[in-house]
Amino acid sequence: MRVEHRAYWGGAWVENQGEGECVVSNPATEAPLARVRSSSAADVDAAVKSARAAWPAWSRTAPSERAAMLERLSKALAARRDELGSLITSELGMPLELSRRVQAGLPVAVLASYAQLLRDYRFEEEVGNSLVIRQSVGVVGAITPWNYPLHQVVAKVAPALAAGCTVVVKPSEVCPLSALLFAEVVESCGLPAGVFNLVLGPGGTVGEALAAHPDLDMVSFTGSTRAGRRVAELAAGNFARCALELGGKSPCVILDDADFARAVPAGVGGAFLNSGQTCSALTRMLVPRARMAEATRLAVATAATYRVGDPLDPATRLGPLVSAAQRERVLGFVRRALEAGVELACGGVEPPAGLSRGHFVAPTVFTHVDPRCEVAREEVFGPVLCLIPHDGDEHAIELANDSSYGLGGAVWSGDRARAERVARRLRTGQVDLNGGKWNVLAPFGGFKRSGRGRELGRAGLEEYTELQALQR
């Protein structure tokens, strides 16, 4: 088993001084992969001071120089893409081919997108008699989750570095190994000492020490709404800017003129991606009441194609959940739904056949779901889909917006203009129209309890800047 005692700050690998250790396990086999010693509060302080010392010089570098560095990072990470995909599969459980494309591929693309964006972006503009300047916000603390462990690191680090900020990253203790690999890539590319720093350990200790640090100018957090509220409280104590990307309960709105043979399977895929462990997962499928039986048949048939099993097997489409605790949390939602009389179409609480070891949950579909019940309102974070009937466009919009969340969404219609009219009325940060594809240049973030601020693209860069006006 790998033993990891290092953190990375000040341009060097440093022994963590924390007293605790986090055990990283393979969720498919339950075998331990690594023991990772936690950083101490003193380690966090040293990493932040390192970032503070590096910030003046880095913030004054030319955008072209920062773009060149981001391009080097992208190419160096791409060279380790297969290694990275295997590593994330081992600690998270996403099927290997999908892990290579998504978990390893997205960070490469995000780094490259900011290298390109910087070549055209203007940090200054004339407004009347004023010169309006976007300056670097300063030192950033980035706290990231386990479900997309490296993508979420890079989605914060890339725009922060592009804006001229320095960064201290605290990845999830559940899946920290890809962040350690990224630190190796940073070191190999010659990023100046202190510009990127990495500390390790649980959110309740190391994350809190980072979020509360008085020398941070900004905290960027991705995770649960509950934890995000705590991070915001800590950051507010120092008047640090706070960006939050939190939970979701995203609707997939299928209108009566949609191609159901395309829309329903795509909606199931949007719910089950990463075994449902995706904040923007399309976990509420809103279906015309008159076509619920048809939609249920299609959803069940699609769910049956999601073979559950070993994520290293090319035939596997659905890997395990990340941990025993996460599996029990998801099964708790399923049990309570069954106890409340919610109609089960497939799946349930029993483990998939032949999988007595590992944190596996069967792909589960509930149908004719009352939109007021718990499983239709709370973020489950597992392969659980609710089919909810609607009575036309207005009712579908009302149901879609009847949520404390507002992160993702989808609309399907045979009339593209109709789909767009409905989408414009959804209170959510992103909406896919008839299967529209992910765009790494588009802003990502949510309304309501799904957070505040945006990641990716131009909007993501501007999160890490402050505006200054020079009157002349």
User: Of 165, 279, 346, 386, which one is the catalytic site residue?
Assistant: 279
Is-contact 444 158, C-beta < 8 A?
A: no
The class (CATH top level) of 2-246+449-471 is: alpha beta
> What is the Cα–Cα distance from 236 to 388, expressed in whole angstroms?
39
Tokens linked to 315: 């035939």
Residue 1: its pLDDT value, please? Answer: 83
Residues 330-338 have a mean pLDDT of 98
Is the pLDDT at 210 greater than 90, yes or no? yes
Decide if pLDDT at 251 tops 90: yes
Return the bridge partners of 243, or none: 220
The question of whether 126 is a catalytic residue gets the answer: no
Percent of the chain whose pLDDT exceeds 90: 99
DSSP 318-329: B---S-HHHHHH
Q: Per-domain residue ranges for the chain?
A: 2-246+449-471, 251-440
The mean pLDDT of 99-103, rounded to a whole number, is 97
| pLDDT confidence of residue 356 | 87
Neighbours of 434 (CB within 10 A): 18
Please give the distance of CA 268 from its chain centroid, rounded to a whole number. Answer: 19
- Of 71, 91, 173, 245, the catalytic one is 245
Tokens 């601020």 map to which residue? 453
Q: Which helix (H) or strand (E) holds 106?
A: helix 105-120
Residue 309 above 90 pLDDT? yes
The pTM of the full predicted model, rounded to 2 decimals, is 0.96
Amino acid at 101: R
What is the per-residue pLDDT across 349-393, written as a single tens digit (0 to 9) for each?
999 988 989 999 999 999 999 999 999 999 999 999 999 999 999
Contact 143, 219 (CB under 8 A): yes
Mean pLDDT to the nearest integer, 109-134: 97
- Averaged pLDDT score across all residues of the chain: 97
Residues 39 and 13: beta-carbon distance below 8 Å: no
User: Is 3.40.309.10 the CATH number for 251-440?
Assistant: yes
Clarify whether 65 is annotated catalytic. Answer: no
**pLDDT surpasses 90 at 154:** yes
Indicate whether 339 pLDDT > 90. yes
Residue 225 in this model has a pLDDT that exceeds 90: yes
Q: Which residues contact 138 (CB under 8 A, 6 or more apart)?
A: 55, 59, 165, 166, 216, 217, 218
Kindly state the average pLDDT of the residues 301-313.
Answer: 97
